[in-house]
Amino acid sequence: MEKKLKIGLIGLGTVGQGVVKVLAKYDDIEIVSVAVKNISKKRDVEVKHLTTSVFEIVNNPEIDIVVEVAGGENVFEALKTAINNKKHIVTANKELLAKHGSELFDLARKNKVVILYEAAVAGGIPIIFPIKSSLRANEFSAVAGILNGTTNYILTKMDEDNIGYDECLKRAQELGYAETDPTGDVEGFDAMYKIAILSNIVFNKRIDINKIYREGITKITSLDMKLADEFGYKIKLIAQAKKMQDKNNESALDIRVHPMLVSKKRALSDIKNATNAVMLKGFPVDEVMFVGPGAGEFPTASSVVGDILAIKTEIHKNDDILPMSVCHHSKFANQINIENTVNCYYLRIKAINTPGTIGKIGLACGKYNINLSCILQKGVNEDGSATIIVITEECLERDINLMIKSIEETSEIKVLNRIRVM
Amino acid sequence: MEKKLKIGLIGLGTVGQGVVKVLAKYDDIEIVSVAVKNISKKRDVEVKHLTTSVFEIVNNPEIDIVVEVAGGENVFEALKTAINNKKHIVTANKELLAKHGSELFDLARKNKVVILYEAAVAGGIPIIFPIKSSLRANEFSAVAGILNGTTNYILTKMDEDNIGYDECLKRAQELGYAETDPTGDVEGFDAMYKIAILSNIVFNKRIDINKIYREGITKITSLDMKLADEFGYKIKLIAQAKKMQDKNNESALDIRVHPMLVSKKRALSDIKNATNAVMLKGFPVDEVMFVGPGAGEFPTASSVVGDILAIKTEIHKNDDILPMSVCHHSKFANQINIENTVNCYYLRIKAINTPGTIGKIGLACGKYNINLSCILQKGVNEDGSATIIVITEECLERDINLMIKSIEETSEIKVLNRIRVM
């Protein structure tokens, strides 16, 4: 009989318990020990050994693979120790990889171990491995997706049930889709970590998350949803990265996370509830899209266990295992500032005194070379003000900001929301 | 410098030329020789050496990998020789794999070489490798998809432009989407080969293509498209395989290819033109979907070259290369007969004398335990006949056939089309 593969697990929350349940059917894989915060907490699964010390796991000479599903930056030191102890790593920790991935991968290469992280982006959807295997002949020009299930659930409910953001957030919290402190999801941090990880492997560059433009969904109103729908769009939190040239004609990356009006003709507009989707564009493949559950006990465990099995197949070899899992990119990307990007914009404008307003908006747009694609005023509100919706053609972010500043100089016009259009 | 990887290419049509173009950027991969039918044919690319003999390729001791993009069964003997000569195989040949895959994989295992075939199913979409890698912890219950771009293009145009099948086929032929003899596509053979290959790896069983139920799209009319649309469906050629139990409670597979009414709420209904999509359902991942170009010079080359690069990374190793590419399933699936499957049905019925017709249909359905979900008669046609649309709840295929036979016994009622509902 082959030697059993020995696992040390860090974290026994929803995903950790899923991993324990799924691994139960593999006679040749054994979870030796699990590190948790609170040993006495009631759980769904039984494990052989619990500890509160992650270092007990990463220093245990018996363990072949450290599986980390605790999340957060706190496990950084422990995982470095694990790698120095020649243990392979399987992790679902997007925050850690987005912030300290380069250091971890360098250390892993030095120690001839691998770090696999299929579960860190888009939960159960196979995306990391396909990019590195079947799609590896490609040069990618863009990656875009719905990478956060919580916000997509909230936006879907706002749209379908025509209720406000706060009410939807409360519902999402009650259903366990959103955390008590929802900041990480609703302000776009989670999606930012994921697009950083994706950009890293899609464009072979190191990514500085501090240079990623990030905007959450808290300013989206059900009125915006309704108006967008009338114009043929759905509002989604889109994480995207695109290859472009900066003003010096140097190759650059435009990476960002923010809400967008997505045309109903695009498949991404139709991704509902907690589902995730990732769209890749490259040559020679053209455009491919992957859709599936972005989180959850079992879907995430599917990816974690897939990674464990990938290592298991290769671990007995004398040569480098899984050479394609190694990250060779040592250079940082040239990340473009949002001010220098080109977008179409949806503006919801409130005008106190309607006569002449459309003219003022039109003049300001002309001044900054912004062409309008749609403009709509629907009657006059009860308070005498008017709501005017403008959708622009492509223009520089810097110019739309100047245009908005210029029309807001007169106190009668106020831009209540500005959302980019996909 | 590392030794160059030497390729022998069989076939230099659209896909073959794409492979040559994409491989051009790899200095360490060399196409040594290409087998073609007609040497003097004008082509887009230049290659080092052309031959009309596939055996010159497969017996060339210099060649490491035989890349076969010629298609059809004719290359069977040549590929067997290649494998016996210890050459790895990369192929896009769905017909060959669906008909003779088992023999080829057995031979490859014996000779310690691999056969990779990402391009054989769904062109540029990564599907074979993700199933075998990231998703390998899963037990799948179903796979379904739109696997033939030609028929999906025809059905999309019939729907969008409200024109008939023949006209759409002609257009598809003019655009190069359909061949002069379109049988392989429009009668569902191509999709059948692909679902056989997918079923094989998804369910780990050998598949007998002669037991796959197959029905093409030639009987679909634009009236069916229009009526389906009114009821909230699109008509698509669906290839699918599902795990089920046969009447003796033995585990069985229900594999088939036929047109279906797909609810507009399902993502598959929205897959347009030549795009392909594959949906997988399993535990623990739940449901994932892959969408992208199902054919074409470059998308297919993306998959072929991805396979070549996968072998290149591993070929220097002393151990078995790419162990997960080996097929271990030696047992044939227990394939269920279509008569024993359960479906919902759309029936388009013509009734000559309308009074009492609905009653007759209702009685016949009652007799065979078939519940109706929708029934609609829209006025009376110019010739005095009526068109009646029935959508049933789930029932046995055998029962719907008996019911149809029973209502057609009276000469006034004729079922003009019967389409299963997804």
Q: Determine the distance in angstroms separating the CA of B135 from the nearest CA of chain A, rounded to an integer.
A: 6
CA distance B359 to B302: 57
CA distance A120 to A93: 6
Q: Where are the alpha helices (DSSP H) in A175-292?
A: 183-186, 189-203, 222-230
Contact of B261 with B232, CB cutoff 8 Å: no
- At a CB cut-off of 8 Å and minimum separation 6, what does A242 contact? A141, A142, A144, A253, A254, A255
CB within 8 Å: B134 and A129? yes
Contact of B62 with B32, CB cutoff 8 Å: yes
CB contacts, 8 Å: A324 with chain B: 310, 313
CA distance B379 to A321: 70
Burial class (CB in 10 A: 0-12, 13-18, 19+), A383: exposed
Partner residue facing B285 (CB), from A287, A302, A316: A302
Q: Determine the distance in angstroms separating the CA of A367 from the nearest CA of chain B, rounded to an integer.
A: 41
Give the N- to C-terminal CA distance of chain B in Å, as an integer. 56
E strand segments, A306-380 = 342-351, 372-377
- At a CB cut-off of 8 Å and minimum separation 6, what does B26 contact? none
- At a CB cut-off of 8 Å and minimum separation 6, what does A47 contact? A9, A12, A20, A31, A33, A34
Please state the CATH superfamily assignment of the domain spanning residues A5-116 in this structure.
Answer: NAD(P)-binding Rossmann-like Domain (3.40.50.720)
Q: Where are the alpha helices (DSSP H) in A69-186?
A: 76-84, 94-111, 128-132, 149-161, 165-174, 183-186
Burial class (CB in 10 A: 0-12, 13-18, 19+), A236: buried
Q: Comparing B175 with B197, which gets the higher pLDDT?
A: B197
Q: Determine the distance in angstroms separating the CA of B236 from the nearest CA of chain A, rounded to an integer.
A: 17
Rounded to the nearest angstrom, the gap between the alpha carbon of residue A411 and the centroid of all alpha carbons in its chain is 38
CB within 8 Å: A130 and B135? no
CB within 8 Å: B130 and A134? yes
Q: Of the candidates A169, A130, A125, which has an alpha carbon nearest to the alpha carbon of residue A147?
A: A125
For B295, nearest residue in chain A (alpha carbons): A285
CB contacts, 8 Å: A290 with chain B: 288-291
Global pTM? 0.94
Specify the pLDDT at position A2: 64
Specify the pLDDT at position A328: 62
**According to CATH, what is the number of the domain B128-293?**
3.30.360.10
- Residue B225, pLDDT above cutoff 90: yes
Partner residue facing B291 (CB), from A267, A310, A318: A267
ipTM attached to this prediction: 0.93
Specify the pLDDT at position A176: 86
HSE-CB of A194 using CA atoms within 13 angstroms: 33
Encode burial over A15-27: b for 16+ CB neighbours within 10 A, e otherwise: bbbbbbbbbeebe
For B25, nearest residue in chain A (alpha carbons): A137
Q: What is the mean pLDDT of each run of 10 residues along chain A (422 residues)?
A: 88 96 97 96 92 97 97 97 97 97 93 95 96 95 97 96 94 90 97 97 95 98 95 97 92 97 95 96 98 95 96 74 64 94 96 82 94 88 89 97 93 94 96
Q: Determine the distance in angstroms separating the CA of B293 from the nearest CA of chain A, rounded to an integer.
A: 7
Specify the pLDDT at position B2: 64
- At a CB cut-off of 8 Å and minimum separation 6, what does B93 contact? B68, B69, B70, B71, B72, B75, B117, B120
Let me know if A350 is a catalytic residue: no
CB contacts, 8 Å: A137 with chain B: 22, 301-302, 305-306, 308-309
Cα distances (angstroms) measured from residue A376 to each of A284, A348, A361, A362, A389 = 41, 10, 12, 12, 5
CB contacts, 8 Å: A130 with chain B: 126, 129-130, 134
User: B60-100, pLDDT tens digit by residue?
Assistant: 999 999 999 999 999 999 999 999 999 999 999 999 999 99
- Residue B319, pLDDT above cutoff 80: no
Report which DSSP code applies to B406.
H
Angle between helices B189-203 and B94-111 (to 10 degrees): 30
User: B102-115, pLDDT tens digit by residue?
Assistant: 999 999 999 999 99
User: A216-264, pLDDT tens digit by residue?
Assistant: 999 999 999 999 999 999 999 999 999 999 889 999 999 999 999 999 9
User: B342-392, pLDDT tens digit by residue?
Assistant: 999 999 999 986 678 888 999 999 999 999 999 998 778 888 889 999 999
Partner residue facing B293 (CB), from A138, A286, A308: A286
- Residue B260, pLDDT above cutoff 70: yes
- Name the CATH topology of B342-421: Alpha-Beta Plaits (3.30.70)
- Residue B280, pLDDT above cutoff 60: yes
- Residue B326, pLDDT above cutoff 70: no
Specify the pLDDT at position B285: 97
Q: Where are the domains of chain B?
A: 5-116, 128-293, 342-421
Specify the pLDDT at position A125: 97
For A125, nearest residue in chain B (alpha carbons): B288
Best interface-test mutation with B: which of A28, A302, A317, A319 has the largest number of B CBs within 10 A? Answer: A302
Burial class (CB in 10 A: 0-12, 13-18, 19+), B364: buried
Cis peptide before B284 (omega within 30 of 0): yes
CA distance B83 to B64: 11
Cα distances (angstroms) measured from residue B271 to each of A28, A289, A388, B148, B238 = 41, 11, 35, 11, 11
How many Cβ contacts (< 8 angstroms) between chains A and B?
Answer: 161
Q: Residue A89: phi, psi to the nearest 5?
A: -120, 135
